[in-house]
Structure 1
Amino acid sequence: MSNLLLITKIDIKESFRSKWFLLYLLIFAGLIAVFFVTGVVDSRVAGFSGLTRMLLLFIQICIIILPIFILITTVRSISSDREAGALEYLLSFPVSLKEYYFGKALGRAFTVLLPIVLALIFSVIISIIKGVSVTWDLFFYYTGLLVVLGFVFLSFGFLISSSIKSGEFGLGVAFLFWLFLLAFLDLALIGLMMQSAINENIIYSIAIINPLQVFRIAAMSMFDPNLAVIGPAAYFILDSFGKVSFILYSLIYPIILGSFCLYFGYYLFSKRDLV
């Protein structure tokens, strides 16, 4: 356990010294600052105002930038150590593969989730200072959504990093994987629905396996309980889950998927050549 925490501490220190972490922190803190400076919290759109309005915009932006940012910063976490010779050096000490792998994962989880949580806390503090109402249940729900989304894509990144020795090739795979989840999967399902006689419920079931799609629909459900914005798919989701069950699904499913990918990545890491 002490070795795991030691690897975690080393990874956190390395991340804090890197330029990507500073950029990552500035992006999310800057987004919150821009929202307040431009008066987003004082505007009202479709009945949403205050911190609720700002969270709506913040969530929509995070759907795009958060997954790819986490992927590109974690996919090289193991491969970079392998290429630099640090992996062989660390494992020459009495450190097990499990301690190294999960220590790296824990350290990277801390560094990728910290800016998100700090940005949300910063938004609440500024809202209270400005006298803007804070919807606490919505705030905690969206914080939970962003944390589980970060966790599942961190797990994807470690799975790719464990499978591929070349860091540059890993970046390409991560980028294509992000594009597949973000756009290609949706376009493929729409085309499949238009050109085939496959039952639409099967297509909807495939769609909600996509963690990005789950995150997107879960974010919408708090502002649009009937999910009218997503059309006929709303009937499938509401009939199959119900609002409360889908909220639980949106939090639990990414954790289960991420845990599986993280452990499968460890299995591949422990079975492949380390150098």
Structure 2
Amino acid sequence: MKHLWLTAYSDILESLRARWFAVYSLVFGGVVVVLFAFGVTESRIMGFSGLSRILVTYIQLTMAILPVFVLVTTVRSVAGDREAGVFEYLLSLPIGLGAWYWGKLLGRFVVVFLPVLLAMALAVAWGALKGAAVPWSLVGYYSGLLMALAWCFLGIGMLISSLARSSDVAQGAAFVVWLTLLLFLELILLGVLVREALPPESAVAIALLNPMQVFRTATMMLFDPQLVLLGPTAYVILDHFGQAGYMAYATLYPLLLGGLCAGAGFLWFRRGDLP
């Protein structure tokens, strides 16, 4: 356990010195500043105004930014160390492969989730100073959704990094995965639905396997409990899950998917890199 925490601490320090972390932090901090600067808190949409409005906008922007940042920065973890010949040095030290792998995963999770959480905390603090009411239930659930999304794509990134033999291949695969999930939000799924004449239940089931779609629908449900924006699809989701059930699913499913991907990546990593 000591080696796991030391590996996590080492990965955190390494990431803090990297340029990508500075850019990553500036992106999320800049998003909050821009939203306040352009007066988003003064607008009203579907009854949401003030701090609630800025959180709704922030969470939608995060869905587009967070997955690709997490994937691109994570896929170099194992593949990059393999290319740099770190494993030969690693295996000469009294550090188990499990402690190294899960330590890097834990350290990277702290690094990718912390700027997102701090940006949201900045928005809450700023809004509170301006006298806006703080929707604590909304803040808490959004934080849980962001944590689940970050963990999910972190696990996917570690799996890709374990499978790829070079960092270039890993980065290419990460972009393909991200684009595929992004397209499945609308374009591909609509094409399959029309071409194959799938029943609505099957189409919704396919859509809800996509963690980005799950995240997007959950954020919509918070300001549109009846999911009017989804049209007839809402009846399938609400009939099978209910509002509380779907909100729980939207948090637990990405966590489970990320854990399974990370576990599969570790099994492949251990099998391929033990002498």
Whether the TM-score (by the shorter chain) exceeds 0.5 is yes
| TM-score normalised according to structure 2 size | 0.97
Q: Kindly state the Cα deviation for residue 219 of structure 1 after the two structures are TM-superposed.
A: 0.1
Q: Deviations over 1:124-164 (max 9, x none)?
A: 11111111111110111011101100000000000000001
Pairwise mapping of residues 139-154 of structure 1 onto structure 2 (< 5 A)?
139-154=139-154
Say which is worse superposed, 9-18 or 34-43, in terms of deviation: 34-43
Gaps of at least 5 residues in structure 1 are none
Q: Alpha-carbon deviations, 1:10-62, whole Å to 9, x = none?
A: 11111000000011011111111111122111222232101110011111111
Q: Counterparts of 1:72-87 in structure 2 under 5 Å?
A: 72-87=72-87
| Residue 162 (1) aligns with residue 191 (2) | no
Contact 2:181 2:212 in 1 (8 A): yes
Deviation at 1:191, TM superposition (A): 1.3
How big is the alpha-carbon RMSD for the aligned residues of Structure 1 and Structure 2? 1.2
Contact 1:82 1:274 in 2 (8 A): no
Unaligned runs of 5+ in 2: none
What is the one-letter code of the residue matched to 1:127?
A: G
- Equivalent residue for 2:104? 104
Q: Which residue of 1 aligns with 2:243?
A: 243
1:196, CA displacement in angstroms? 2.4
Residue 47 (str. 1) matches residue 12 (str. 2): no
Counterpart for residue 191 of structure 1: 191
Partner SS for 2:95 = coil
Give me the identity figure in percent: 47
Q: Note the alpha carbon deviations across 1:237-262, whole angstroms, 9 max, x for none.
A: 00000000000000111111111111
Q: CA deviation at 1:184?
A: 4.2
> Deviation string for 1:176-211 (max 9, x for gaps)?
100000114632221122122332211110110110
Cα separation, 2, equivalents of 1:19 and 1:94:
30
CA displacement at 1:173 relative to structure 2: 0.5
Q: Is the 8 A contact 1:11 1:107 kept in 2?
A: yes
2:28 corresponds to: 28
Listed one character per residue, the Cα deviations across residues 50-83 of structure 1 (whole Å, up to 9, x for unaligned) are 1110011111111111100000000001111111
Structure 1 position 256 matched with structure 2 position 267: no
Per-residue deviation, 1:90 = 2.0
CA distance in 1, matches of 2:207, 2:186: 7
Distance 1:101 1:157 in 2: 13
| Worse overlay, 170-179 or 194-203 | 194-203
CA contact (8 A) 1:218 1:250 kept: yes
What is the match of residue 59 of structure 1? 59
TM-score normalised by length of structure 1: 0.97
Q: How many Å apart are 1:87 and its aligned residue?
A: 2.5
Q: Is the 8 A contact 1:71 1:156 kept in 2?
A: yes
Matches within 5 A, 1:91-240: 91-184=91-184, 186-240=186-240
Tell me, in whole angstroms, the C-alpha distance in 1 between the residues paired with 2:201 and 2:249: 17
* Residue pair 2:74, 2:154 contacting (<8 A) in 1 also: yes
Structure 2 counterpart of 1:56, which letter?
A: V
Structure 1 residues 139 and 185 mapped into 2: Cα distance closer, same or farther (>3 Å)?
A: closer
Distance 1:206 1:184 in 2: 9
| AA at the equivalent of 2:73 | T
Amino acid at match of 2:116: I
